[in-house]
Structure 1
Amino acid sequence: MTQGSGEKILQRADKMAQFSAMEEGLTRAYLTKEHKQAHQQLSDWMINAGLEVWQDSVGNQWGRKTSANPTQSTIIIGSHSDTVVNAGKYDGNLGILLGLEALEQLSGVDLPFHVDLVAFADEEGVRFNTTLIGSSAVAGCFQPAWLDIKDDQNTAMGEAMLSFGLSPELAGKDARVAEEVKAYLEVHIEQGPVLEELNLPVGVVTGIAGAKRYYFSVKGMAGHAGTVPHALRMDALCGVAEMISAVETYGLEHNVVATVGKCDVKPSAVNVIPGEVTFSLDTRSAVQGDLEVACSELHFQLEQIAQRRQLKLSSEMTYQASAVPCHPQLQQQWGMVVKQQTGKEACLLPSGAGHDAMVMANITDIGMLFVRCEKGISHNPREQVNEQDVSVALNCLVDMVQLLATSDLTEA
């Protein structure tokens, strides 16, 4: 590894953070001025690293280390350059910059395949509330109906593409096909506290959790807080409180995480018994079967609570994504390079958050490496990584690309 590579990557992350719609913070959304500026900077760095560069049909930025004799299909390394509102510097962006530095260090190494680095233009979905636009286009999953979705300023995605210099009618038409992609690699901050708790710089991802989200409506009877005895009440909020406790207990006892993150109480007056409550439920598991069972059993438990309390319960599923396993051989190979770089057996852990890799799994095998982040904090300006950990992750990625040059992936 070149001396100071970790420091160089962090300095570039600082530079990328300057392309922001916030003066005192970081927000970079899809098809904005900041998107264009950030990808121009990435393009400049890619050119300086000796890569062939291009922008695709939805505004993803690409750089290619070209093989003189590409006898095998292409390796793609990627992550996303967009951010949430008031974000940290490293979610998504660190993976791109690690890939860039890895290819710069491999510039003199002949590989039997092309290596493509991609900065996906939209993973977070901040502007149009439709996530994973960039990787969906690459993986052949772009939905033309998305072009009609409007942002808060009433600008449709298709109109924004035109203003950005893209042709919306071509969106997703340049998708990659499975036959030409050998594997997809993504390095990402953990966004959780496991690696810090274990005092490890990196960890190997086993898979990306599937998720289902619901909105529940619980209806009871509003009434005077001073005159209706407890035994005769149909208090929607008390019912929901019991439901939330049941959700937490289920998550603790089963292979899922279940979260109630939003709750709206009506009529929301200090002296009125709550008559109606709506609340969200986010359920996730890396094992799809466990997720399906959890959702079914939780629905049953919540319905039982509602019936016992004489409340009316209804639900609507608002989002679902299937669990996506990482390829076993890629997990094993990541583990080999991690042990080589750290002297310790690799920690294997699932990702509870979604990533571009879950979409890229539609066309190729995926493998992910997590990098420790301070206190597991992410989607927050306090997001922080350690320079030494970044250097370890870089070495692992360089070694991984070279290892793939000497191996063929078997069927999962």
Structure 2
Amino acid sequence: MVNAGRLWKRLMELGEIGAQESGGITRFSFTAEERQAKELVARYMKEAGLFVREDAAGNLIGRREGSDADASVVLTGSHIDTVPSGGKFDGSLGVLAAIEALQTMQEQGISTTHPIEVVAFTDEEGSRFGFGMIGSRAVAGTLRSEHLKYTDVDGITIADAMKSANLSPDRLDEAARLPNQVKAYIELHIEQGIVLESIGHPVGLVTGIAGPLWQQFTIKGQAGHAGATPMNLRRDPLQSATELMGYIYAETRKFPNAVATIGKIQTLPGGVNVIPGQVQFSLDLRDVEEAERDKLEGRIRDYAGEVCRKYGTELTLELMQRVAPAPSSLEVKEAIAAAGKLAGLPDPLPELVSGAGHDGMQFNGLWPLGMIFVRSRNGISHHPEEWSSKEDCGLGAEVLHHALLLLAK
């Protein structure tokens, strides 16, 4: 059995780094808080008997060797960065549960044929730069130099932030893994939803991950005095934006599995008594079916053009990321299902889809992948009240432990 108490203690310790008076945690990539968190997690990895290194993208890696030096590696892990004022469990549980699983193997003298590596991936959330999954993209070999031009609110690029963290952006190719170097990827994560809680199960098997599509809409009009410009003579980009936002929400509800989120809005110049000259807003669009997501995207784009023509405003669309949905592989699903039995959980484990994006999406088509979900209280995530119980976290880690042994045997 894994040591649930040790796992819980580490979760709480890690949760102190970046903690705010509000109760939330803020740990952005390439910051002092992230560095402190990495040093703590590296210490846990060493306590588990792992060889620890950091790759060219800043991914923190702990490796447990297998009996076959030439065998492909089984990857597991998640991330330790957060959204602004996030919770203690998102990402962190997957990293720490993986360390706990390997430490249990070490303490029990269990050997595997394949090596196993725990990875704390760099910047999964995308909170700082508006461009996420930096570390997993690098491992997949899909992180490009143009991606490093994204900036944070202070105008600092990803490339400059990497340099400040003593990383070399021109060496990113060193972080990439070839398909034949990896046997499988498995990730433990909190559900961030209410499916498991609603059916009374602590752990679930993820059948696939919905693909996120991120776009930035920029609508330009004519700034002017709020009191001196009649309504019928205005070219107000906010009027175009609000009508478009209403359409986005209404149209998305027509698609059973689609979700749309407008998370960032900015008006310029931003005066109380000034008609905006420009409005920018983000759109996060997701569906487990890529064709359905793309159909919805097309409808939104067409309507955006119509509403801007209607109000005499100009539209610019920037694609920030487009990730295909990632189905879990049969091999990893079977390992998780068998692990659930070995952990003493009701058989079969409940199956569910992940509406949230995860690092494993970047590995779709490269090597087998799959996920384990742990029950979330009230489905709350990306919030200080995010919570999964000590018992559920321990059960999830136990399932991960057995799944890793089956995949790396």
Is the 8 Å Cα contact of residues 185 and 370 (structure 2) preserved in structure 1? yes
Residue 325 (1) aligns with residue 326 (2): yes
The one-letter code sitting in structure 2 at the alignment partner of 1:101 is E
Work out the CA distance in 2 between the residues paired with 1:45 and 1:8: 10
Q: After TM superposition, give the deviation of residue 285 of structure 1 in Å.
A: 0.9
Counterparts of 1:334-373 in structure 2, within 5 Å, are: 334-338=336-340, 341-361=344-364, 363-373=366-376
| CA distance 1:272–1:37, change in 2 (3 Å) | closer
Query: TM-score by structure 2 length?
Result: 0.83
Q: Which amino acid aligns with 1:371?
A: V
Residue in structure 2 matched with residue 6 of structure 1 by the alignment:
4
2:383 corresponding residue in structure 1 = 380
Query: Hey, what's the Cα distance between the residues in 2 that align with 1:338 and 1:152?
Result: 44
Q: Note if contact 1:220-1:310 (Cα within 8 Å) is conserved in structure 2.
A: no
Q: State the 1:214 CA deviation.
A: 4.0
Residues 310 and 298 of structure 1: is their aligned pair in 2 closer, same or farther, counting only changes over 3 Å?
same
Deviation of 1:393 (Å): 0.6
Deviation of 1:144 after TM superposition, in Å, equals 3.2
- Report deviation, 1:43: 2.0
Trace 1:229-244 onto structure 2 (pairs within 5 A): 242-244=243-245
1:18 to 16, 20, 43: 16
2:298 matched residue in structure 1: 296
Q: CA deviation at 1:142?
A: 2.9
- Report the CA distance between 1:119 and its aligned residue: 1.1
Does the aligned pair in 2 maintain the 1:226–1:271 contact within 8 Å?
no
**Aligned equivalents of 1:326 and 1:190: distance in 2?**
16
Are the equivalent residues in 1 in contact too, given 2:197–2:378 (CA < 8 A)? yes
Secondary structure at the counterpart of residue 320 of structure 1: strand
Measure, in 2, the Cα distance between the counterparts of 1:297 and 1:51.
50
Q: Distance in 1 between matches of 2:231 and 2:125?
A: 48
Name stretches of at least 5 consecutive residues in structure 1 with no aligned partner.
407-412
- Deviation string for 1:194-221 (max 9, x for gaps)? 2222322122222222233241638699
Pair member with larger Rg? 1
- 3-state DSSP class of the match of 1:253? coil
Aligned to 2:211: 210
The answer (yes or no) to whether the contact 1:235–1:273 under 8 Å persists in 2 is yes
Separation in 2, partners of 1:8, 1:338: 21
Q: How many corresponding residue pairs? A: 402
Equivalent residue runs for 1:115-126 within 5 Å: 115-126=116-127
2:134 matched to which residue of 1? 133
Distance 1:240 1:182 in 2: 47
For the residue of structure 2 that corresponds to 1:78, the secondary structure is strand
In structure 2, the gaps of 5 or more residues are none
Name the SS of the counterpart of 1:172 in structure 2.
helix
Contact 2:206 2:328 in 1 (8 A): no
1:263 Cα deviation from its structure 2 partner:
5.1
Note closer, same or farther for the CA distance 1:237–1:83 as it changes in structure 2 (3 Å cut): closer
Closer/same/farther in 2, CA of residues 280 and 142 from structure 1, 3 Å limit: closer
Q: Kindly provide the CA deviation profile for residues 230-277 of structure 1, in whole angstroms up to 9, marking residues without a partner as x.
A: 9x9998766655544433332222131123445567898999999986
Q: Is the 8 A contact 1:215 1:318 kept in 2?
A: no
Residues 247, 259 of structure 1: 8 Å contact kept:
no
Q: Distance in 2 between matches of 1:273 and 1:167?
A: 44
Counting aligned pairs with the same residue, the percent is 35
Tell me if 1:78 matches 2:80: no
Q: What RMSD in Å do the two structures reach over aligned CA positions?
A: 3.5
Tell me the SS of whatever aligns to 1:106: helix
Deviation per residue, 1:312-368 (Å, 9 max, x gap): 563413323222323331234323433564214333322222211112336322111
1:241-252 alignment runs, 5 A limit: 242-252=243-253
State the shift of 1:302 in Å: 4.9
Q: Distance in 2 between matches of 1:33 and 1:221?
A: 40
Which residue of structure 1 aligns with residue 56 of structure 2? 57
| Distance in 1 separating the partners of 2:9 and 2:186 | 23
